[in-house]
Structures are given as structure tokens and as C-alpha cells.
Amino acid sequence: MHKSVDAPPRRSRLGQWLIGLLILLGRAGFVWYYDLGQAQPVEQGPGGCRGGRGGGRGAGELAPVRVAQAETRSIAVVLKALGTVTPVNTVVVRSRLDGELVRVFFDEGQNAKAGQVLAEIDPRPYQVALAQAEGQQVENQARLANARDDLEKFRSLFERQLIPRQQLTAQESLVKQIEGSVQSNDAQVSNAKLQLSFTKMVAPISGRLGLRQVDVGNLVRSSDPNGIVVITQMQPISVIFTVPEIELPAVLDAMRSNHSPPVEAWDRAETTLLATGTLETVDNQIDTTTGTIKLRAVFRNADEKLFPNQFVNINLKLSTLRSATVVPAAAIQRASFGTFVYVIKPDGKATIRKVTLGVSEGERVAVTE
């Protein structure tokens, strides 16, 4: 009976003691976090880094941070866009005649020069047509020579009043008629020679040849949509990209101050510079469905790193902002009240400084306020 009466007071005192201990531990942790973890000065750590103790770290443990100096320097005002590599000239080489493809004089993927013979169709039907036109031409030329001789004789006889005027006039008309036939024959011969020349397909431009569309022995027609091969001009080459219409005044100002603003083409990951060129032209109208306008930049593409229909990242340099305060982009922090950076005060403590950002260039960004 005594044990059942004494047990409750002991448990009550033990519970009160535990609650008091928990309260003391909570107060000690609160003081340690705010007085030591938050207000601890940033100390210089090894390797030029600084560190300080923060909440959740053990006593004496340093949190490494990187410190960078704000610089006053020039920074380029760059407009970024996504572009597509577009050849300046692309030609589908088609046959102008119908016939059998008998020879191919190119290798797939090679570079061709303008005027180079690429393929040939069977020329024999067109050689026969040329011979026929030349035969008719010779016949009419002989008739014309005979008619002219007769005309000279008729003129002599008419002067001696041995033939009437009507006969002389008829002979003059015959000469003109045969002259017209000879002129028509000359055109037929020229046309036959032209058709014969079309049996050899030549490259109209210099560029890179694609895959062969037709093999030797097949019949080709002038209406074939795929043609024989496609030639794409690789040097120079252009990139077409779009920018928002709100950026158009800045682009036009850059073209007025610098007739050919510099342009850089980067790969998709923006890690490799593919080529450098210049802005050539701006389209003459804004696309109302997207609110953008097209621009064309031209690149020499000497190493052919730019390939048709390739997607690239474009950096268009519009101007240069001089004497700007520049900080690393990694130093910029964001919160509900805007962008800010941590600034180290002379006493070694860090404080928050709200900033207004300007243009960026690579891993650097300008601070305007």
C-alpha cells in the first residue's frame, strides 16, 4: 500500500525535471545559432577562401566560400538568339532533256567548281537532230545562192527591156522567201546544238555535292523533282535568326554606327565557338504572329564547321558599355525582394546588398545600381 501511494509523486518530479532540461537545451541552441552561427565574422580560410560557422555545423568547422573583386571594365552589349544555318545558294541539278543517264563524273560529298561537268545523258538522239537541221540548212543555202544568181540575170534582162517588171519582182520575192528559210534553218541548227550541249549537266555554282539521286542506266526526265544531285554553297554561308521586335531599334542603331556588327555562332551547348561573321541584313517586315523579325548573318566558314540546317546559338554584339561595374554571374543571388549579392565589410562580416543587373557577357554581369 505504501508503494502504490509514493509512486505518483516520484514520476511527477521526474517529468518536470526532464521538461526543464529540454527548455534549457533549446535556449542554448537558439543562442548558439544566432549569436555564433549568424554573427560569426567571415574568416580567411586556406587557399584564399573565407569561411564561417553556420547553423547545423559542428564547433570549429568552416564553410568555404569564394570571394571575388568587383571590377570596373568594358562589357559588350550582346543580343542572344537561336539561328539556323542557311546556305546562300542551293541548286538542284536537273536534266533539261529526257534520256538515259550514261555517265556520272562526280563523287558524293566532293566540292565542285562552277562549270564542272557532273553527268551526261545519251547524246545520240540529239546528234541526229543536229545533223538533220544542218542538212536542211545546206539545202536552203544552195537554193538561196541559185535564186540570187537568177535575180542578177533578171535585173540585167529588165534593164535591156527583155523581161517585164512583174517577172523581176517575182524573183526578188523568191530570194527573200528563201532567205527566210535559211534564217529559220540557222535557228534550228543553233537550237539543235543547244539541246546537244544540255546532254552534259554542269555545276551552275561552286559548292558541296550531296548524295547522287539517280544511278547510271536510268532514264531521267526534266520534270524529275529530285534531279541528279544537290549542290550547296558552303563558303560563304549564312545563318538566319530571329529577334524580338522590341530589340529592332538597337539592331538598326548598331548597323548605322557599325555597318557590319560582329556575330558569333556557338554550338547548342554554348561551349564551342564555331565561327565569327558579320550581320548582313534585316528583313523588311515583322512577323505579326510571333512578334519577331528575321536577320541574316554571313560567315566565311573556311573550316566548314557550319553545316546547312544546323541549329546554332547566335551572339550579336550591338555595342560596348564602358566603365561598368562587373561581378561574376555566380555571385548573384535571388530572393523575393529581388537580386542581391553578399558584400564583405571591412570588419570581415558579410552583409546583403540589393543590386540591379544590366547586360551580361559570358560569366560576367554588369551591375547598374
Q: 21: pLDDT confidence band, cut at 50, 70 and 90?
A: low
Q: How far is CA 301 from CA 183, 189, 210, 308, in A?
A: 51, 45, 18, 11
Please state the pTM of the whole predicted model. Answer: 0.65
For 268-298, the DSSP string reads TTS-SEEEEEEEEEE-SS-BTTTTEEEEEEE
Percentage of the chain exceeding pLDDT 90: 44
- Report the pLDDT value the prediction gives residue 354, as an integer from 0 to 100: 83
Of 320, 318, 305, nearest in space to 239 by CA: 305
CA–CA distance from 219 to each of 120, 209, 222 (Å)? 12, 21, 10
More confident residue, 159 or 294: 294
DSSP 58: P
**Rounded distance between C-alpha atoms, residue 319 and residue 366, angstroms:** 14
Note the pLDDT of residue 35.
45
Rounded mean pLDDT, 292-307: 93
Give mean pLDDT, residues 211-231: 92
Backbone angles phi, psi at 121, to 5 degrees: -105, 165
Neighbours of 141 (CB within 10 A): 15
User: How far from 254 is each of 111, 231, 242, 285, CA to CA, in Å?
Assistant: 36, 34, 16, 18
CB 264 within 8 A of CB 314: yes
C-alpha–C-alpha distance, residues 154 and 145, integer Å: 14
The predicted structure's pLDDT at residue 31? 44
Confidence of residue 356 (pLDDT cuts 50, 70, 90): confident
pLDDT of residue 255 exceeding 70: yes
Mean pLDDT of 345-360: 76
308: left (phi over 0), alpha (psi -120 to 50) or beta: beta
**Residue bearing cell 555564433:** 36
What phi, psi does 13 have (nearest 5°)? -70, -35
pLDDT category of residue 48 using cuts at 50, 70 and 90:
very low
**Helix, strand, or coil here: 177?**
helix
* pLDDT-based confidence at residue 323 (cuts at 50, 70, 90): low
28-48 core/surface letters (b: 16 or more CB in 10 A; e: else): eeeeeeeeeeeebebeeeeee
φ, ψ dihedrals at 261, nearest 5°: -60, 140
- Please check whether residue 336 is in contact with residue 86, taking contact to mean a CB–CB distance below 8 angstroms: no
What is the model's pLDDT at position 66? 76
How many angstroms separate the Cα of 260 from the Cα of each of 74, 161, 299, 316, 320? 21, 83, 12, 11, 15
pLDDT band at residue 19 using 50, 70 and 90 as cut-offs: low
Q: Distance from first CA to last CA of the chain, Å, rounded?
A: 81
Mean pLDDT of 340-345: 81
> What's the confidence (pLDDT) of residue 60?
56
Please report the pLDDT score of residue 347 as a whole number.
79
| The pLDDT of residue 298 | 94
38 pLDDT band, cuts 50/70/90, is very low
- pLDDT at position 250 is 87
Residue 16: predicted pLDDT: 56
The pLDDT mean for the chain works out to 81
pLDDT band at 343, cuts 50/70/90?
confident
Closest CA to 237 of 207, 209, 268, 212: 207
pLDDT of residue 340: 80
Which residue in the block uniquely carries the three cell numbers 549564312?
238
In this structure, are residues 51 and 191 in contact, taking their beta carbons and an 8 Å threshold? no
Question: Is 30 a residue whose pLDDT tops 60?
Answer: no
> In the prediction, which pLDDT does 260 show?
81
Single out the residue of 324, 354, 352, 329 nearest to residue 339, CA to CA.
Answer: 354
Distance CA 296, CA 316 (A): 11
